[in-house]
Structure 1
Amino acid sequence: MLLCASTDWYERYGGMMKIMSTPNTSSFSMYANFPLFQGVDPSLGASALEACPICELKEGDILLEPGQSGDDVYLLLSGRLCIHLGSLEDAPIICLEVGECVGEMSIIEEKHASAFVVAERDSRLLKISQKTLWHLINSSHAFARNMLYTLSQRLRHNNQLIIAGLKREQQFQHYAHIDPLTDLYNRRWLDEYLCRVVRRCQEKKEPFSVIMLDVDHFKKYNDDYGHLAGDRALIGLAKVIRRCIRVSDMPIRFGGEEFLVLLQGASQKIALEVAQRLCDAVRAESILDLEGKELQGITISLGVATANVGDDGEDVIQMADEALYKAKKMGRDRVAV
């Protein structure tokens, strides 16, 4: 609970806080070093703050909450305040230390409070009314400058929060659409973007092809050399795929040891060239364990399909899958259409 009293009340009833009953030039010195009052004429400051009460909060008390009318600025004299957005269960976005203030944004914007302000520990605050605040702004260039600096800091901090939030969102998007082992796009990305890729090619009247591939005898590879070796093989395969495809091509880990490459603007001839380049490069690639020791190499089988008029993305993937099956039937380690 917020308890406020004038300086006279504290003197009459022996309040816990020692303050002078009538602010004057000498008593104003206790505020003069706070950022809000630096450079302010002592006599003006003392006169303006004469009617400003000092308030007391206990640990956990709420000073402001969303929707509350913002009619006062609170200057923190002792203790610590924390600001929470959304709910009190959320981590604070910022904590205020002695000398900092809160509430000025609501007054200047003429809007209600938008966050919870809570005492992290027992705190004392100087309560400055809206009328007093505007009087100080209009009467003191130094105070107006200090308030402008305070608002600038608030905006800068808000910008930092926005940037941090955007970075987190980008990270979430990345983790949602990227396979953690190979760092290629995952099946979820394919489900969301396949239609867009195909539609873009159709609108531009460009060909669209798909390469589907998987590792030959991968189950036996895992059984013979272990799953860690299998993971290293998949990581090595992903690196070869990125190295061999075109900049505009999109590599996807389809699932397990199966991979897809979407080739925008690629005819069947171009797609076959990319697929053969992949097949040859994987056969020649050295697979290394975490210590740099060379492991058994792998080979891949690949199926290539190019969209016909009216085909959608799923149709082309199905055709590529059938071509992959044909490559396996033909002896593996090869490309089929």
Structure 2
Amino acid sequence: MAKSWFGWFGEKTEVERRAEKPRAAIAVGADDIDPLTGALYWDRFQLMLEAEQAQEPGVLLLIDLSERSIRVGGSEEAKALEILPWLAQAIRQAIRGDDLLAHVDGYRFAVLLRGAPQEVGQITSDRILDSVDNTIFMTADGISKLDVTIGGTAFGVADGQALMELAAANLERARRLEQPALVQ
């Protein structure tokens, strides 16, 4: 593992410091994972979000497929079965190993960036946008170009529901402003 030049003086890397912090004691089992997307089910994610929010800082991101991408040909259910696994994989490739990915509903996903400040939320949003842009989505109708919009917020409110509402508001604001991502 590469260290910054400070590491040469005996300091620990960011990964080593994060590994030492205790995590929420909520185990994830096979029944908690959506077999289609490989992401956590929404109800399990919410429990983990509440536990994480009580322990340390973090960022919640909501990622949703743009309306233009949803209008790509084919039936809605068939498109979802084809697109969701690819979209989840593109997001998973852009987040850190100990962050949590959940399928909310439809074409919407949530990411919990554990222990991350707001700046990491913006950097991760940019990586997610690049990952989705650089993924070739093969469907029965051919290659599809997908676009996502991201809204996020750093922890700072009392409960998970309020945090979700703030992230959803930032997602809608990003859409109105025609920005790909808005993390506040």
Cα distance, 1:219 vs. partner?
4.0
- Superposition misfits of 4+ residues, deviation over 3 angstroms: none
Provide Cα deviations, 1:258-284, integer angstroms capped at 9, x if missing partner.
110001111110110001110122122
Higher gyration radius (CA): 1
* Contact map agreement 1:212 1:304 (CA 8 A) in 2: yes
**How well do the aligned residues superpose, as a CA RMSD in angstroms?**
2.2
How far, CA to CA, are the matches of 1:323 and 1:200 in structure 2? 24
Q: Secondary structure at the match of 1:225?
A: coil
Q: Secondary structure at the match of 2:79?
A: helix
Provide Cα deviations, 1:23-73, integer angstroms capped at 9, x if missing partner.
xxxxxxxxxxxxxxxxxxxxxxxxxxxxxxxxxxxxxxxxxxxxxxxxxxx
* Contact map agreement 1:212 1:321 (CA 8 A) in 2: yes
Partner of 2:165: 318
2:156 counterpart of 1:335: no
Provide Cα deviations, 1:128-169, integer angstroms capped at 9, x if missing partner.
xxxxxxxxxxxxxxxxxxxxxxxxxxxxxxxxxxxxxxxxxx
Cα distance, 1:180 vs. partner?
2.3
Provide Cα deviations, 1:86-121, integer angstroms capped at 9, x if missing partner.
xxxxxxxxxxxxxxxxxxxxxxxxxxxxxxxxxxxx
How far, CA to CA, are the matches of 2:120 and 2:78 in structure 1? 35
Partner of 2:115: 265
Equivalent of 2:74 in 225, 230, 252: 225
* Contact map agreement 1:234 1:257 (CA 8 A) in 2: yes
How far, CA to CA, are the matches of 2:144 and 2:83 in structure 1? 9
Cα distance, 1:298 vs. partner?
0.5
Cα distance, 1:236 vs. partner?
0.8
Cα distance, 1:193 vs. partner?
2.2
Partner of 1:245: 95
TM-score, structure 2 normalization: 0.76
Q: Which runs of 5+ in 2 are unaligned?
A: 1-26
Cα distance, 1:328 vs. partner?
0.9
Matched residues, percent identical? 22
Cα distance, 1:231 vs. partner?
2.2
How far, CA to CA, are the matches of 2:90 and 2:127 in structure 1? 10
2:35 counterpart of 1:180: yes
Equivalent of 2:54 in 196, 199, 203: 199
* Contact map agreement 1:286 1:294 (CA 8 A) in 2: no
Cα distance, 1:225 vs. partner?
2.8
Q: Secondary structure at the match of 2:97?
A: coil
Equivalent of 1:254 in 90, 94, 104: 104
Partner of 2:21: none
Partner of 1:306: 154
Q: Which runs of 5+ in 1 are unaligned?
A: 1-169, 202-206
How far, CA to CA, are the matches of 1:276 and 1:191 in structure 2? 24
Q: Secondary structure at the match of 1:260?
A: strand
Tell me the amino acid that sits aligned with residue 208 of structure 1. Answer: G
Q: Secondary structure at the match of 2:38?
A: coil
